[in-house]
Amino acid sequence: MAENLIAGVSRTEFGKGAARRTRRAGLVPAVLYGHGTDPVHLSLPGHEVLLALRVANAVLELTVDGGKSQLALAKQVQRNPVKGTIEHLDLVIVRKGEKVTVEVPLLIVGDYPADRMVSIDQQTISLEVEATHIPADIEVNVAGLEIGDSITAKDLVLPAGASFAGDPDHLILSMAATPSQAALDAELAGESTGVEEASEEEAEEA
């Protein structure tokens, strides 16, 4: 995975007011820590950081105040729920060759007939992988699955050097029959009846 070279500057002002001023200047407040070092408070260029974090588990190559560059893994990202901009970033120092544990998105691929549907149990999978070789996603191919078939962690094709430390029989997804319109109508009718009965009971108690 390619690193993203980003130049940051150290911060000396803290608190909500200082963070707002930093954001108004087009910068992102961040904290860099790890490997026994004291936390370093940074301001990073907002646009460059936003581009770098378009992928999950981005590894950034940082310079602080023009010093020596170092690698850092984006550990926690706080985004503005409306604008989508990054409001704060926690970064963990990593070394080349060092392994980290990260949540990697699962990507469903492959075609299947309309009479069946994929029931997804997991959206991500926790992998131990080299910090500089974190995959963007893990593909899960559902082509050829019959109704009742399932895919577990041991069925996934992981990139070289990546490993899953959990239960190999951990369920990822299964293939189920697509419910008929009649079944959907019956389910909706049942939910509607349940709501009406609950309303009647509440009225009686009142």
Residues 82 and 26 in one domain: yes
Residues 36 and 110 in one domain: no
> Residue 17 falls within a domain, yes or no?
yes
116-120: strand order across its sheet = 116-120, 171-177, 150-152
Beta strands in the chain, from DSSP E residues, in sequence order: 4-10, 27-34, 37-45, 59-64, 70-79, 86-94, 99-109, 116-120, 124-130, 138-141, 150-152, 171-177
User: What gap in Å lies between CA 1 and CA 157, rounded to an integer?
Assistant: 18
Residues 112 and 78 in one domain: no
Residues 90 and 110 in one domain: no
Residues 80 and 111 in one domain: no
> Residue 202 falls within a domain, yes or no?
no
Residues 144 and 75 in one domain: no
The residue among 94, 115, 142 that closes a domain is 94
> Residue 165 falls within a domain, yes or no?
yes
CATH of the domain at 32: 2.40.240.10
Residue found under tokens 């646009």: 47
pLDDT at 31: 92
| Percent of the chain whose pLDDT exceeds 70 | 89
pLDDT at 193: 59
Domain that holds residue 20: 4-94
Phi-psi region of 57 (alpha: psi -120 to 50; beta: other; left: phi over 0): left
> Residue 196 falls within a domain, yes or no?
no
pLDDT in tens, 55-74: 889 899 998 888 888 999 99
User: What gap in Å lies between CA 29 and CA 7, rounded to an integer?
Assistant: 13
Residues 82 and 29 in one domain: yes
Residues 72 and 133 in one domain: no
> Residue 55 falls within a domain, yes or no?
yes
> Residue 199 falls within a domain, yes or no?
no
> Residue 84 falls within a domain, yes or no?
yes
Is the model's pTM score more than 0.85?
no
pLDDT in tens, 99-139: 999 999 999 999 999 889 999 999 999 999 999 899 999 99
